[in-house]
Structure 1
């Protein structure tokens, strides 16, 4: 595999729609595999593409269960069934705290705490983090490899912008933005700590993103409506996330 890509392991917002999974993504380069967010159901889907032992790191944006609740399941599978001795986990302090409610996981998980402006390197992928506008500490992230880039917003309200991971950080425009567009014009409310598809699209235009994938669509909302509202605003290629889809930077 050449280039930089993201495969959707789950994309339901807040809870899973029937037959779907919550937030999770597989980011891959030619030599590196990152499991980004591990909401309920994403572990099963991950195994269609890579074995758990082939994952170079788990990266978890925040402690809300729709983004991190598979971690205890991964711990049990890796330690007691798959013979994996250690796994690198980059996450906020809150993610570790809620995971360790089930018991100390440090005998398997090599925890690395991420925070605003943190940087990390995993294989041939560089990762930059930025704290978003969300009720708990939440990290958006940028992946750079081989001259290509993907930005994943995780969850955020209007108080954060994509510029934090592009021009404000001295980085070029992202090739691909995978961004939450949870709300529609009819449900948009600045008091809700999530973005509308149109707001996301305008922000992606502002930083000169080339392609946009709208994700975190809640059950009961029609993905095609989120796609249409983003498409009316975004000047580049736009798609809506669906489980199993792969997008290239």
Structure 2
């Protein structure tokens, strides 16, 4: 299993970067997780639009799903449109991005599936599990397992006991860490820090930790230091082009 970071900025893409977007591959099957702002050009440097086999969206904020629109356009408007793309998201999360085009323009280009927490399902060679986690809008933490390896992804979330279950013994925890040490009070129930991510990784026994969704232009060092206060495992920040090979 391999994960490639397309982008990891929270809220908006900093210059030359992209928002949340991750390509997860196993046995030739490609899953695009959270196609946020500016991720499609990064994706197309690696694979063709028609080579994506499924899309998973944690929640409906545009920094996590806006580039689903150009991805579907690239598939639907080409000379030989591929089969409908399975798109998994919380119910209603993609209504706004799918409404960007006139009715029917993207018909047949995608096959919608509601993410159902508590009901594991197969996505190609992956077993996918969804976990409801607190955010400003419905958010699903995602756990993908294949070939004896597991990637756990928090989406955007405030503190919650379910995070330890989501990340239990994961080979890689991809964790939202918008702030290094402290979330402003008004957002404290809905976002996390790098310190929170380190605590989760340690409690869950995750083998590696990848911090993502840092506020644009945030220096990496304070976030890494905050995570290291409670987690001794390998830790990095998600930046475009970073690849994590998990084997399996």
Q: Calculate the TM-score normalised by the size of structure 1.
A: 0.90
Q: List 4+ stretches of structure 1 deviating above 6 A.
A: none
Contact map agreement 2:182 2:193 (CA 8 A) in 1: no
Across the aligned residues of Structure 1 and Structure 2, the Cα RMSD in angstroms comes to 1.7
What's the CA shift string for 1:11-65, capped at 9, x where partnerless? 0011111111111000011221100000011111011222122211011111100
Q: Which residue number corresponds to residue 224 of structure 2?
A: 227
Q: Which residue number corresponds to residue 177 of structure 1?
A: 173
| Bigger mean CA offset, 79-88 vs 120-129 | 79-88
Structure 2: state its 5+ residue gaps. none
Contact map agreement 2:36 2:67 (CA 8 A) in 1: yes
Equivalent residue pairs, number: 241
Q: Superposition pairs for residues 5-24 of structure 1, below 5 Å?
A: 5-24=2-21
Q: Secondary structure at the match of 1:213?
A: strand
Paired with 1:197 and 1:118, the residues of 2 have a C-alpha distance of 29
Q: Which residue number corresponds to residue 246 of structure 1?
A: 243
Paired with 1:233 and 1:179, the residues of 2 have a C-alpha distance of 15
Contact map agreement 1:32 1:122 (CA 8 A) in 2: no
Call closer, same or farther: CA 1:183–1:82 in 2, change over 3 Å: farther
Q: Secondary structure at the match of 2:99?
A: helix
Contact map agreement 2:49 2:74 (CA 8 A) in 1: no
Q: Calculate the TM-score normalised by the size of structure 2.
A: 0.91
What's the CA shift string for 1:63-92, capped at 9, x where partnerless? 100001112212221111253242111111
What's the CA shift string for 1:171-196, capped at 9, x where partnerless? xx111101111112255647351111
Structure 1: state its 5+ residue gaps. 168-172
Contact map agreement 1:158 1:194 (CA 8 A) in 2: yes
Q: Which residue number corresponds to residue 170 of structure 1?
A: none
Contact map agreement 1:88 1:109 (CA 8 A) in 2: yes
Q: Superposition pairs for residues 1-249 of structure 1, below 5 Å?
A: 4-81=1-78, 83-85=80-82, 86-102=84-100, 103-104=103-104, 105-165=106-166, 173-185=169-181, 187=183, 189=185, 191=188, 193-249=190-246
